[in-house]
Amino acid sequence: MALRDQLRGTGVAIITTFKSDDSLDFDALARVIEFVIDGGVEYIVSLGTTGETPTLSKEEKIEIANFTYDKVAGRVPVVVGIGGNDTRELVKDLQSFPLDKAAAVLSASPYYSKPSQEGLFQHYKILAEASPKPLLLYNVPGRTGRNLNAATTIRLANVPNIIGIKEASGDMAQCMEILRDKPKEFLVVSGDDALALPQIACGMEGVISVAANAFPHAFTDMVRLCLKGDFKAAKGLNDCLIEGYELLFAENNPAGAKAAMSEMKLIGNYLRLPVVPLSTPLHAKMKAYVSKMK
């Protein structure tokens, strides 16, 4: 199956699991991997921002990637997140990180520096040249402070080794412009769980999801129905998930997902500072929602 087809549907931006002493919890990560694969996700995205990568050391990232490859054991593709705001360091990471078993690399736009559109183009062009695996752009201006606009995205879509984008601007007009002008084989997937249904209706081919950590069955079924064009049935599932989307992102990601999964007894509810668990009132709402979704 072509890589583009493998990355169609639901990818899960998988969490990183910790113990109470702040160390990595690989037993819990193994449970999460089994849970999302059993839940029907088409692929796993390891070391995305949902994985709390800003607070992981390079050594921990390598451990997590290798553990994920081993536990997935080829059952679904694994995409690895390698992004940041130092282009030269990212080139080194792409050349030294264990990517032989990865299907692709997802690279978030540079944060904080707020480069121009030309700077964003040159950054990604250099990464594409250095990457041993196909590259997925990741536009998430709510985190990075700079939007990768439609014109730059289309420019990058014609750069060799760039195969698609996770588009999380939340700007439907921008999304439709990209979908209108992109090359036929350029993959566009949503990065906004709550907008996945209308974005697939406009032509996106799936979503890299946070919600699929906690609610993989309902979410992947919803996405598959959308891709089949059965939006009436998809809306029924999505209507049930709307409250979940709101709770997942009300305070911080992945605090919402971890609260839900701790209530399912999959993980301990541990995060690394500066991210903290949900407030007590919001956690109570999440607990009630999880109970309702069982």
Domains of the chain and any CATH numbers: 3-233 (3.20.20.70)
Q: What pLDDT is attached to residue 19?
A: 98
Q: Report the distance separating Cα 219 and Cα 225, nearest Å.
A: 10
**Tokens 């879509």 found at:** 157
Q: What sections of the chain are H helices per DSSP? A: 3-6, 26-38, 58-72, 87-96, 117-130, 141-144, 150-157, 172-181, 196-202, 211-214, 216-228, 231-249, 255-263, 280-293
Q: What pLDDT is attached to residue 212?
A: 98
Q: What pLDDT is attached to residue 147?
A: 98
Q: Report the distance separating Cα 229 and Cα 235, nearest Å.
A: 11
In the set 69, 111, 124, 138, the catalytic residue is 138
Q: Report the distance separating Cα 187 and Cα 58, nearest Å.
A: 29
- Grouping H, G, I as helix, E, B as strand and the rest as coil, residue 266 is coil
Q: Report the distance separating Cα 26 and Cα 278, nearest Å.
A: 23
In the set 61, 71, 166, 182, the catalytic residue is 166
166 is a catalytic site residue: yes
End-to-end CA distance of the chain: 34
Q: What pLDDT is attached to residue 1?
A: 79
138 is a catalytic site residue: yes
Q: Enumerate the β-bridge partners of residue 167.
A: 139, 190
Q: Report the distance separating Cα 20 and Cα 35, nearest Å.
A: 22
Q: Report the distance separating Cα 167 and Cα 200, nearest Å.
A: 12
Would the pTM count as exceeding 0.85?
yes
pLDDT in tens, the chain (294 residues): 799 899 999 999 999 999 999 999 999 999 999 999 999 999 999 999 999 999 999 999 999 999 999 999 999 999 999 999 999 999 999 999 999 999 999 999 999 999 999 999 999 999 999 999 999 999 999 999 999 999 999 999 999 999 999 999 999 999 999 999 999 999 999 999 999 999 999 999 999 999 999 999 999 999 999 999 999 999 999 999 999 999 999 999 999 999 999 999 999 999 999 999 999 999 999 999 999 998
